[in-house]
Structure 1
Amino acid sequence: MSTSPTLDDLRNQLVDDIVAKRPLPAPIERAMRTVHRDAHLPGLDPTDAYSNRAVTIKDNPQGPLALSCASVPSTVAMMLAQLDPRPGDRILEIGAGTGYNAALLSELVGAQGEVTTVDIDPGVALHAREALNRTGYEHVRVMERDGLTGAPEHAPYDRMIATVGPWDIPATWWQQLADGGRLVLPLRWRGQTRSVALTRHGDTLVSDDMELCGFVPIIGQDGELTTELANGTVRIHHDQDQPVDLDRLSDVFATPATEHWSQTRVGSQESFDGIWLRATATDDHICRIEVTNQALEAGVRRPVIPGRSPALVAGDSLAYLIAERDNADEERPVRLGAAAYGPAAAALATTLNANIAAWGAHRTAVPIMTSHPAGTPDSRLSGGHAIDKADSRLVLHIN
């Protein structure tokens, strides 16, 4: 006679599955086996609460992305490992969500530590407060406010973590992070999002880890823009410093794409997102292309991932990553290349294929990001490729 799994069974099975794919530091594993995610998602079937997926807790009536959601548990675990909370730490979390992450942080910092979590939405903040009270974490501080301002009255913080996606690192966060402290945030640049772990060294923040992720954008930053092409069926997502000109690109899909293939191949299950990341350390034309089903049906060449693929845009031309399975290599049966449109198609395709080849030669190499305050003169920047934002100057360097 079979019996239904208990909540403890479901929670432990979820953690077992996460650890099997990616070992966790022992304190984080213990915290995830201790905190009840289902209690932060009342009304949800326990099986769904302990599935490794995001759960929307508040829809956004003005757009397709949720206003707030409970993050994928494996992503939560990955970011906590990046943050490396210690007993006694003072922690600020931007984006309260369900309160689940704050409860995990409270377990990790212990009775001598302090956790403050903030959210701009009153309903989300109330949800987090009630869930934390209900589960025995009344001591966690929940504040309703704009996360971009942080919580200076309780600073300085040993650790700061954002669970919403900023486009820039606000100067207010710099000011509230202790020297030697760590900041983990899902930062957006050049159309992609990476969970970046940075340590403060005086007037710089220096990364030691980057992981692919996706998060709801933070409210109040508008440095990422969208340019719609082909009657809105193709979208280019780019930063405000990238001169994507709608008028010059209006006829870019008037002729068929030309295909240019690299010598780089990948396995069927091999990630190639590192191509995009590496290209941001050298090329200011890299951004994201989104090709809808309507565009594909109209004959636009399919990108490697229609919803989010790296692209190069310059003037009246563009090129983006494509893939084709040809089985010429049994171990790596998929070859990578570029589809290109416009007068400069061949040149952009050549550049993109050079980026693909550079990644292919060193597939595990990850750039180091150094963030400097806005206004830092070029002479004081660390060596590498600079990207200017409103509050910071990011410099990416790859060995």
Structure 2
Amino acid sequence: MTTTSERHVQDPATLRAAMVSELREDTITSESVAAAFSVVPRHLFAPDEPLEAVYDANTPLVTKTGPDGTALSSVSAAHIQAVMLEQAEIEPGMRVLEIGSGGYNAALIAELVGPDGSVTSVDIDPDIVARARACLRAAGYEQVRTVQTDAEYGVPEHAPYDRIIVTVGAWDIPPAWIDQLSVRGRIVVPLRFAGLTRCVAFDYFESGLVSRSYCLGGFVPMQGEGTFTETLVPINGDATLRLDGPDPGFDVPALRKAIHGPRIEQWSGAAFDLPDELELFVVTSAPQVPFLYASQRLVDQGVFTPAVTYGAAILVDGGSFAYRTKRENENTGGWESGVFAYGPQAEAVAVRYVELLRRWAAKYRRRGAALIEYIPTNPGGAAPTGWYAPKRHGVVAVSWP
């Protein structure tokens, strides 16, 4: 694989060709997407960045930060843009709405739809819209419409859209997005549910949206009416639970005591593989699975493994909890999954978690095993069967056929 460190020539065309070659190895499967990446001058959408960074397939380019240094807008990494464009399967002549304007992705879409298609790119931030317009003009893509408004309402004047591509993290899918889809429409959206974000390609059906594919992906969160703030439940100064829904009433004093009590471990005898798919299975196979975030200090003390500094999905039973871990085991293909558990009911919660690990390994150890649906609110309608997460405008339902 070609890496950035191996690229010494500072010619944009050479660097762009190397990036496309790398994307072809890992991500791009269609000639049309490869052709778009080959011709759009990415460096014109990040003129202040070093060319090496601009044409690194895995580097996002921050274009605006808040007072606290938090990224408010960015040109996404080329890798994730390629993934989402492959999910979208854009064809010449299509009408496409992009939610979240950086300019570069809109230019790629313009290449895909061709002269008979149309691209509308919307953002709530007037600075970002002005920047996108200037970059698109400099790169020769003035045909792209850039609109400054709250994307919660879409852009009805240019609807219907055959594709809606969302390049900001969304907690819900507003009714306007679905209403503005054509009958052959598809929404590709980084959707947050159960504490996770997955880039989901939803196809339109009369009953709602049904996933065609999904994958990992992280984006700056949506602003405006679509803003959502996760729930934080501090356990102590070094550990916090995070979840999307309301606090169900965790026994914080008991959990605080459990953290510093004895720990047990149980091993599943099953392979540890595809951790993102396994995590999705765990959080959608049990009610109210929060994520535990803990400090490096607790890791250094041996209380937790380093995984908790990035967030670990835990099962909670009163004042007891368990989270997933792994160890080397040649008999399971290299790694074996297991759990560490804490508290007076540690053994019971560990058994429950290990059962989930075994079930996933036996039945769902592959990419794309889940079916993700978005069902708009239907007053008086029955709740979905299986796991689902209520949203403002509907529910996300996840099943494992």
Question: Which residue of structure 1 aligns with residue 43 of structure 2?
Answer: 38
Give the Cα–Cα distance (whole angstroms) in 2 for the partners of residues 312 and 60 of structure 1: 35
145-154 vs 135-144, greater mean Cα deviation = 145-154
Q: TM-score, normalised by structure 2?
A: 0.90
CA displacement at 1:314 relative to structure 2: 4.2
Alignment CA distance shift 1:116-1:313 (3 Å):
farther
Question: Which residue of structure 1 aligns with residue 137 of structure 2?
Answer: 133
Question: Which residue of structure 1 aligns with residue 183 of structure 2?
Answer: 179
Give the Cα–Cα distance (whole angstroms) in 2 for the partners of residues 111 and 78 of structure 1: 23
CA displacement at 1:7 relative to structure 2: 1.1
Question: Which residue of structure 2 aligns with residue 321 of structure 1?
Answer: 324
Q: Does the 8 A contact of 1:65 with 1:216 survive in 2?
A: no
Letter in 2 for 1:109: V
Secondary structure in structure 1 of the residue aligned to 2:243: strand
Alignment CA distance shift 1:23-1:101 (3 Å):
closer
Offset from partner CA, 1:15-51 (integer Å, 9 cap, x none): 1011112342111110010111111001211111101
Question: Which residue of structure 2 aligns with residue 89 of structure 1?
Answer: 94
Q: Does the 8 A contact of 2:231 with 2:244 survive in 1?
A: yes
Within 5 Å, give how 1:334-345 maps onto structure 2: 334-345=335-346
**Number of paired residues?**
389
Give the Cα–Cα distance (whole angstroms) in 2 for the partners of residues 242 and 203 of structure 1: 31
Q: Does the 8 A contact of 1:125 with 1:144 survive in 2?
A: yes
Give the Cα–Cα distance (whole angstroms) in 1 for the partners of residues 381 and 258 of structure 2: 36
CA displacement at 1:114 relative to structure 2: 1.0
Offset from partner CA, 1:328-357 (integer Å, 9 cap, x none): 43x723221112223332222222212211
Alignment CA distance shift 1:90-1:317 (3 Å):
same
Q: Does the 8 A contact of 1:119 with 1:147 survive in 2?
A: yes
Following TM superposition, where does structure 1 have runs of at least 4 consecutive aligned residues deviating by more than 6 angstroms? none
Letter in 2 for 1:92: L
Q: TM-score, normalised by structure 1?
A: 0.91
Question: Which residue of structure 2 aligns with residue 300 of structure 1?
Answer: 303
Question: Which residue of structure 2 aligns with residue 353 of structure 1?
Answer: 354
Question: Which residue of structure 1 aligns with residue 16 of structure 2?
Answer: 11
Alignment CA distance shift 1:24-1:178 (3 Å):
same
Within 5 Å, give how 1:71-220 maps onto structure 2: 71-97=76-102, 99-219=103-223, 220=226
Question: Which residue of structure 2 aligns with residue 237 of structure 1?
Answer: 242
Question: Which residue of structure 2 aligns with residue 396 of structure 1?
Answer: 398
Give the Cα–Cα distance (whole angstroms) in 2 for the partners of residues 287 and 28 of structure 1: 37
167-176 vs 204-213, greater mean Cα deviation = 167-176
Give the Cα–Cα distance (whole angstroms) in 1 for the partners of residues 374 and 9 of structure 2: 50
Offset from partner CA, 1:178-226 (integer Å, 9 cap, x none): 2330000011111111100001111310001010111112124325322
Give the Cα–Cα distance (whole angstroms) in 2 for the partners of residues 209 and 195 of structure 1: 8
Q: Percent identity?
A: 33
Give the Cα–Cα distance (whole angstroms) in 2 for the partners of residues 247 and 9 of structure 1: 56
Question: Which residue of structure 2 aligns with residue 59 of structure 1?
Answer: 65
Q: Greater helix percent: which structure? A: 2
Alignment CA distance shift 1:380-1:337 (3 Å):
closer
Q: Does the 8 A contact of 1:210 with 1:366 survive in 2?
A: no
Give the Cα–Cα distance (whole angstroms) in 1 for the partners of residues 381 and 326 of structure 2: 39
108-117 vs 222-231, greater mean Cα deviation = 222-231
CA displacement at 1:242 relative to structure 2: 5.5
Alignment CA distance shift 1:104-1:350 (3 Å):
same
Letter in 1 for 2:335: V
Letter in 1 for 2:372: M
The gaps in structure 1 that reach 5 residues or longer are none
The gaps in structure 2 that reach 5 residues or longer are 1-6
Question: Which residue of structure 1 aligns with residue 73 of structure 2?
Answer: 68
